Amino acid sequence: MQFQIPNLKFQGISKFQVPVQNARHSGLWIFSIGIWCLFGAWNLELGTSPASAAPTSVARPNIVFILTDDLGINDLACYGRTEHHTPNLDRLAAQGMRFTSAYCAQPICSPSRAAILTGKTPARLHLTTYLPGRPDCASQKLLHPVMRQQLPVEEKTLAEHFKAAGYATACIGKWHLGGKGFLPTDQGFDIYRPGKAVTKPSDTECGKGEYELTRWAEEFMEANQAGPFLLYLAHDTPHIPYSAQDSAVMRNSSAFNPTYAGLIETMDDTVGRLLAKIDSLGIAEKTLVIFTSDNGGLHVPEGPHATITHNAPFRAGKGFLYEGGLRIPLIARWPGKIPAGRVVDAPVINTDWLPTLLDCAELPRSRGIDGESFFGLLTGRNKGGKRRFYWHFPHYTNQGSQPAGAIREGDWKLIEHYEDGHLELFNLARDIGETTNLTGTEGKRAVRMAGMLARWRADVGAQTNSLNLHFNPAAHRALYETFQPSRVNLAKTDDAGRARALEWRRQMDAAVREVK
């Protein structure tokens, strides 16, 4: 006589057969079976087993997230900027995936970084421009909303998610999301090494402290090579003011801006060193490397620099909701998981990183966030679904932008200007430079998309502007009407055009200084 027990997966038993030789023994065996079944049912309910009360460990990847500051969409050779020398990043792109339609959540630093770390749109966080923000000026028709001055500690960050899962966590470099009480070590990072935003170039350092940051990053990876670890390496490169080693400037003498190109080359060298360290530690196969920027490149004169970069063929740059301000370089490598040499045109946004990285590590998804995981797209399992992307930027910036919102739906993109409500509609498939406003021929589409943008603002609780009672129309005309900074392309203008851009910069700086 035999009793056959169904598959007990949690006990590691596929078939449990009990011989019963006589009636006297059968009672004992039946009792034993009952005990096994009782404990089996109990353990199935608890999700554990008698053999192991701990959950099965998952081989989770190390994550190296390299974030640059104001790096433009076409500042790398692999993105078409042939005058720039970026062999290490070009090789990283060849070994992994390069995105051509990656967006930032805001075309300026602090809110974009907050979106990466929380998975929430800046409009929901009420953190919508750089900290502490630009003072209001007489040239503004509207006043800025009063926003938060730090990333609230109640927001659960990427580091807090991964630290709870047993990761060692480090923030090395720029934070820009709050001071004492709101530092990385208050938001889930074990280690915070800010470094210096400006350094004097030498034989061992360049103009943005990038080699020191890289050494600290290497030390952290070596100390935690057994893994898993999360390294958030936030370079100040190439934010103004900047300088570069003389030798690098000379090697790039034919570039649009030789000093800027030299700085890009040095940044690429530090990335190469970091990748070499990953290889030497033997952890490349289990390390996801991400390289990106917080927002688009700076296309107008600012600070001590008459020229910085250009984002052609995209319009405008940092501070603007045109493509030059929103599109960012994005490269990701994870050997064996991310297909090598793949170029992806499907749009993603850096608000998506928190849910995407949680999926990469097989960690529970976070609730109440705005980002969507693109894990399937990243690993080549799908081509990405149809999505809408929204932006709310109720601020004037030093780069010359004015309060506006935007929505992208498929190939269509709408920008709503908050000063007077006028709309611009572009078809990005046919007009990547956003040169032709199609509201005249696509009026119904424009109104529909504007309605979606308005409903989204209400859903996320976006802050709005108020009227400036001290508005100076003449100052407004000089800064935003007679000269249109979004149309500037210093790579294609003559000396007179560059001189006019410099004069505009002096006027803008004077307008801001008046209220400081």
Active site residues: 109, 176
Contact indicator for 324, 435 with CB cutoff of 8 Å: no
C-alpha 163/C-alpha 386 separation (Å) is 33
Exposure on the CB side of residue 252, measured as CA atoms within 13 A: 24
Tell me how long the chain is: 516
Contact indicator for 390, 405 with CB cutoff of 8 Å: yes
Dihedral sign computed on CA atoms, order 199, 205, 210, 214: negative
**Phi then psi for 348, rounded to 5 degrees?**
-140, 170
SS (H, E, C) 314-364: CCCCCCCCCHHHHECCEEEECCCCCCCCEEECCCEEHHHHHHHHHHHCCCC
Contact indicator for 70, 295 with CB cutoff of 8 Å: yes
Question: What is the distance, to the nearest Å, from the Cα of residue 5 to the centroid of all Cα atoms in its chain?
Answer: 53
C-alpha 82/C-alpha 360 separation (Å) is 33
C-alpha 107/C-alpha 128 separation (Å) is 10
Helix (H, G, I), strand (E, B) or coil at 70: coil
